């Protein structure tokens, strides 16, 4: 069974995302100027719907991502898809192999991806009001663990980077050989910087440029 702590965190982040968007659904999202908060919720809900489909059907080949039904309120749809996601995850086998992320894609990896996806977009929604609280320690640590296999291989040639998360008391290194640069800060600030979002951590120039040009993940 999937860790109940992870499920509770996904649900909490998802509810916070939708409740934030309900304050002003038409407000523009700074990270995605072409989107409103309603669009952000719709996007996140479609990813949740995809993850639900993958975990329910256990496909080994790519499946189509569901989209907002015509005429459906995106915020209500967001709440519904989150509820369905948690229900399907609750009794899933985290070790089951499924389509998704490279050669080692499992249900457990989808669960962790949904935690990161939902937590970062909750931050995006709150940031639209200029009041984003940091990523939680669980979201940040999961995201930084995931970065090694999901994002780092997609970077252009960059010098090896060491990242020290002071609040998590953990260190990550991306690249080969001894680190050419070291950054230090909270896990939230480190990951937000890697995702090209406003942060108290400043990446080396080569890394900032490379991260700003990362492609979307395969489930987007």
pLDDT tens digits, 91-118: 999 999 999 987 789 999 999 999 999 9
Given a contact cutoff of 8 angstroms between Cβ atoms, the answer to whether 92 and 107 are in contact is yes
3-state class (DSSP) for residue 195: coil
Say whether pLDDT at 69 is over 90.
yes
pLDDT at 24: 98
Task: Name the nearest CA neighbour of 25 among 111, 140, 125.
Answer: 125
Q: Could you state, in order of their start, the residue ranges of all structural domains in the chain?
A: 4-127, 137-212
pLDDT at 218: 58
Q: What predicted TM-score, i.e. pTM, was given to this entire model?
A: 0.95
Average pLDDT, integer, range 141-154: 93
Task: Name the nearest CA neighbour of 192 among 154, 136, 148.
Answer: 136
Task: Name the nearest CA neighbour of 52 among 102, 118, 103, 104.
Answer: 118
In the numeric block, the tokens 């975990």 are attached to: 55
Do domains 4-127 and 137-212 share one topology? The answer is no
- Residue 200, C-beta contacts closer than 8 angstroms, at least 6 positions apart: 185, 186, 189
Question: Could you tell me how many residues make up the chain?
Answer: 220
d(CA 213, CA 204): 15
pLDDT at 216: 74
**pLDDT tens string 126-142:** 999 999 999 999 999 99
**pLDDT tens string 36-46:** 999 999 999 99
Given a contact cutoff of 8 angstroms between Cβ atoms, the answer to whether 136 and 142 are in contact is no
**Cα dist. 171→21, 112, 187, 191, 202 in Å?**
34, 19, 10, 12, 16
Measured in Å, how far apart are the chain's first and last C-alpha atoms?
26
Given a contact cutoff of 8 angstroms between Cβ atoms, the answer to whether 211 and 195 are in contact is yes
In the numeric block, the tokens 């896990």 are attached to: 187
3-state class (DSSP) for residue 62: coil
Dihedral of CA 152/13/1/84: which sign? negative
Give the number of other CB atoms < 10 A from CB of residue 175. Answer: 17
pLDDT at 104: 80
CATH assignment of 4-127, among 1.20.120, 3.40.50, 1.10.40, 1.10.260: 1.20.120
pLDDT at 219: 53
Cα Rg of the chain, angstroms: 17
Instruction: Determine whether domain 137-212 maps to CATH 3.30.1050.20.
Output: yes
Average pLDDT, integer, range 32-59: 97
């Amino acid at each position: 069974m999937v860790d109940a702590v992870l499920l509770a965190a996904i649900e909490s982040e998802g509810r916070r995302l939708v409740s934030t968007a309900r304050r002003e659904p038409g407000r523009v999202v700074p990270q995605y100027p072409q989107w409103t908060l309603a669009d952000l919720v719709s996007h996140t809900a479609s990813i949740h719907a995809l993850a639900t489909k993958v975990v329910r059907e256990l496909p080994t080949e790519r499946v189509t991502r569901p989209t907002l039904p015509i005429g459906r309120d995106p915020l209500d749809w967001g709440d519904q898809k989150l509820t369905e996601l948690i229900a399907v995850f609750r009794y899933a086998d985290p070790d089951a192999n499924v389509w998704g992320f490279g050669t080692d894609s499992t249900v457990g990896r989808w669960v962790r991806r949904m935690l990161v996806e939902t937590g970062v977009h909750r931050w995006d929604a709150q940031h639209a009001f200029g009041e984003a609280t940091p990523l939680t320690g669980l979201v940040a640590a999961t995201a930084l663990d995931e970065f090694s296999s999901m994002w780092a291989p997609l970077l252009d040639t960059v010098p090896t980077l060491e990242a020290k998360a002071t609040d998590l008391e953990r260190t990550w290194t991306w690249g080969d050989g001894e680190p050419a640069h070291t950054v230090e800060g909270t896990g939230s600030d480190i990951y937000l910087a890697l995702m090209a979002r406003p942060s108290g951590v400043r990446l080396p120039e080569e890394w900032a440029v490379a991260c700003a040009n990362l492609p979307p993940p395969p489930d987007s």
